């Protein structure tokens, strides 16, 4: 025999399945037939005795199959299934096992090769990156995420050059090329269009989808190990833009600086869309006076408004609305309270009425577009202000608090940041220097 067999165990197993007389020294068709017909209520294996590593595996329920056992070059044990054992299948199992032994002697890993082959087959079924994103990743993963629609839209837009590439044929070079092109994009004045944080976020979203494709068995491995060279070393510098950032004390006093022009234009702003200019006035005043995010604003409901608690008026944001998945309260000053009460009156005149307590009835996309695409940009033009986004009003709220001496820990709570580190990275540079004041006041004699 070319394979060693434990003779004692071999004979015990054969007697247990009912074989009598002189026992065969190796697996035979009769042994297989006896093993299948005589279950003994326990799992066991019978080595072939002819092909090293080949064995008959019999389960408690008498189901039997052939397996080939081996070790990789790294010493990892492997067990490769060869199909169901039945009368007439032994010769085929030995031929298959001998072929696998040859592969192992060449340093290959048959199980890994089979896994890769299956992955490539699944990738072929998933077809292109676009099809995997739309048919698998979106309905299985993104649909359960808070910003799933936005993530899908960004993936479709930012990675458009790769969408029609077969998933299994994605290469490092192709990914690097997309990131390099986006990094090199410049505006007419020669400045880069995309910030470092945007480029890093682009790759993080795409990598997350590829990682899911690997777990799902549609992709063998990531085309890129580590961070792409195109964005390697890019530090994410937080955006530091707030209303009135460059106003002089004189401009602030006369209200003709950036902040003054913005508030003056906001006061007289008009719109032909539902709610007129009151919608934008409420949105801007809440952002400036509470630091709420756009997504939090648009998901407000009547039950979150606590306007009758005199002296403690607030908005109670539930965890489901907040980016950090932690609820928080937005305390309201008189300006924010007045804006909310005014909007509640205006809401009664809208053609589409709220049936579930939504502060902004109808499709959220319509209200969001007014802030991001239509009304807020027009307001900035009327105020003569450039490079200002709606989110910068939240930054204005935080910046003014920090400049006014509010501790960063308190600013973190008001903004709903997940960590004080996030708050410090964005606003610590604005904090008054306590050390400088203390040094000037210190006296020894």
Note the pLDDT of residue 168.
82
Same fold, 7-108 and 256-435: no
Q: Stretch 124-130: mean pLDDT, rounded?
A: 74
Residues 6 or more apart in contact with residue 258 via CB below 8 angstroms: 243, 244, 245, 246, 247, 251, 383, 385
Note the pLDDT of residue 422.
87
Tokens of 350: 């809208």
Note the pLDDT of residue 444.
63
Q: Stretch 218-241: mean pLDDT, rounded?
A: 82
Residue 404 has pLDDT above 80, yes or no: yes
Q: Helix/strand/coil (H, E, C) string of the chain?
A: CCCCCCHHHHHHHHHHCCCCCCCCCCCCHHHHHHHHHCCCCCCEEEECCCCCCEEEEECCCCCEEEEEEEECCCCCEEEEEEEECCCCCHHHHHHHHHHHHHHHHCCCCHHHHHHHHHHHHHHHHHCEHHHHHHHHHHHHCHHHCCCHHHHHHHHHHHCHHHCCCEHHHCCHHHHHHHHHHHHHCECCCCCECCCHHHHHHHHHHHHHHHHHHHHCCCCCCCCCCCCCHHHCCCCCCCCCCCCCCCCCHHHHHHCCCHHHHHHHHHHHCCCCCCCCCHHHHHHHHHHHHHCCCHHHHHCCEHHHEECCCCCCCEEEECCCCCCCCCCEEEECCHHHHHHHHHHHHHHCCCCCCCCCCECCCCCHHHHHHHHHHHHHHHHHHHHCCCCCCCHHHHHHHHHHHHHCCCCHHHHHHHHCCCCHHHHHHHHHHHCCCHHHHHHHHCCCC
Domain 256-435, CATH: 1.10.443.10
- β-bridge partners, 67: 55, 81
Dihedral (CA of 71, 72, 75, 77) sign? negative
- Cα-Cα end-to-end distance for the chain: 100
Range from 27-36, 71-80, 248-257, 428-437 carrying the lowest mean pLDDT: 428-437
In tens, the pLDDT along 148-171 reads 888 999 999 999 999 989 888 899
Q: Stretch 177-193: mean pLDDT, rounded?
A: 85
Residue 363, classified by CB atoms within 10 Å of its CB into exposed (0-12), middle (13-18) or buried (19+), is: exposed
Mean model confidence pLDDT for the chain: 87
- β-bridge partners, 315: 305, 330
What is the CATH topology of the domain spanning 7-108? Double Stranded RNA Binding Domain (3.30.160)
Note the pLDDT of residue 123.
59
Note the pLDDT of residue 300.
93
Tokens of 303: 């039950």
Q: Stretch 64-77: mean pLDDT, rounded?
A: 89
Note the pLDDT of residue 174.
94
In tens, the pLDDT along 282-335 reads 999 999 999 999 999 999 999 999 998 888 999 999 998 888 888 999 999 999
The most confident of the ranges 26-30, 124-128, 217-221 is: 26-30
| In the chain, domain spans | 7-108, 123-231, 256-435
Q: Stretch 6-12: mean pLDDT, rounded?
A: 81
Note the pLDDT of residue 294.
92
Q: Which residue has the tokens 């060279």?
A: 229
The CATH number fitting domain 123-231, selected from 1.10.260, 1.10.150, 3.30.160, 1.10.3470: 1.10.150
Range from 53-62, 117-126, 310-319 carrying the lowest mean pLDDT: 117-126
Dihedral (CA of 129, 131, 137, 143) sign? positive
Residue 1 has pLDDT above 50, yes or no: no
Note the pLDDT of residue 341.
94
Percentage of the residues of the chain whose pLDDT score is greater than 90: 43
Residue 89's Cβ-side half-sphere holds a number of Cα atoms within 13 Å equal to: 17
C-alpha pair distances (Å), 206 with each of 138, 226, 297, 416: 13, 13, 28, 27
In the structure, what pLDDT confidence band is assigned to residue 231 with cuts at 50, 70 and 90? confident
In tens, the pLDDT along 20-54 reads 888 888 888 888 888 888 777 788 888 888 888 89
Residue 437 has pLDDT above 80, yes or no: no
Residue 201 has pLDDT above 70, yes or no: yes
Note the pLDDT of residue 4.
58
Residue 181 has pLDDT above 90, yes or no: yes
């Amino acid at each position: 025999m070319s394979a060693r067999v434990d003779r004692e165990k071999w004979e015990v197993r054969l007697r247990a399945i009912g074989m009598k007389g002189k026992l065969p020294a190796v697996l035979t068709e009769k042994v297989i037939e006896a093993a299948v017909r005589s279950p003994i209520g326990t799992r066991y294996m019978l080595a072939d005795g002819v092909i090293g590593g080949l064995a008959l595996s019999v389960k408690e329920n008498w189901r039997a199959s052939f397996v080939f056992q081996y070790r990789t070059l790294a010493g990892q044990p492997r067990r490769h299934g060869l199909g169901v054992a039945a009368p007439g299948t032994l010769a085929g199992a030995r031929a298959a096992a001998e072929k696998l032994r040859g592969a192992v002697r060449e340093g290959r890993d048959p199980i890994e090769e089979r896994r890769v082959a299956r992955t490539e087959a699944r990738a072929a079924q998933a077809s292109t990156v676009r099809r995997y994103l739309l048919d698998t990743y979106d309905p299985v993963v993104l649909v359960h995420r808070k910003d799933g629609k936005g993530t899908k839209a960004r993936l479709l837009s930012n990675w458009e050059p790769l969408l029609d590439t077969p998933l299994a044929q994605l290469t490092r070079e192709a990914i690097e090329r997309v990131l390099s092109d986006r990094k090199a994009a410049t505006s007419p004045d020669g400045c880069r269009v995309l910030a470092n944080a945007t480029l890093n976020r682009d790759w993080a979203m795409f990598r997350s989808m590829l990682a899911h494709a690997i777990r799902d068995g549609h992709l063998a491995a990531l085309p890129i190990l580590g961070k792409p060279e195109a964005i390697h070393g890019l530090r994410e510098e937080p955006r530091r833009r707030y209303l009135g950032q460059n106003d002089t004390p004189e401009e602030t006093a006369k209200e003709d600086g950036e902040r003054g022009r913005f508030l003056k234009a906001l006061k007289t702003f008009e719109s032909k869309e539902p709610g007129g200019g009151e919608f934008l006035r409420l949105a801007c005043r809440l952002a400036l006076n509470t630091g709420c995010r756009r997504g939090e604003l648009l998901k407000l409901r009547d039950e979150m408004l606590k306007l009758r608690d005199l002296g403690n008026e607030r908005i109670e944001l539930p965890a489901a609305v907040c980016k950090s998945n932690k609820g928080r309260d937005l305390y309201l000053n008189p300006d924010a309270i007045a804006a909310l009460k005014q909007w509640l009156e205006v809401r009664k005149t809208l053609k589409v009425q709220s049936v579930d307590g939504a502060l902004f009835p109808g499709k959220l996309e319509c209200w969001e577009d007014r802030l991001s695409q239509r009304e807020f940009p027009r307001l900035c033009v009327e105020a003569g202000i450039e490079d200002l986004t709606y989110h910068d009003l939240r930054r204005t709220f935080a910046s003014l608090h920090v400049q006014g001496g509010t501790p960063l820990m308190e600013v973190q709570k008001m903004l709903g940041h997940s960590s004080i580190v996030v708050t410090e990275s964005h606003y610590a540079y604005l904090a008054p220097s306590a050390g400088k004041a203390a040094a000037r006041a210190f006296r020894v004699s």
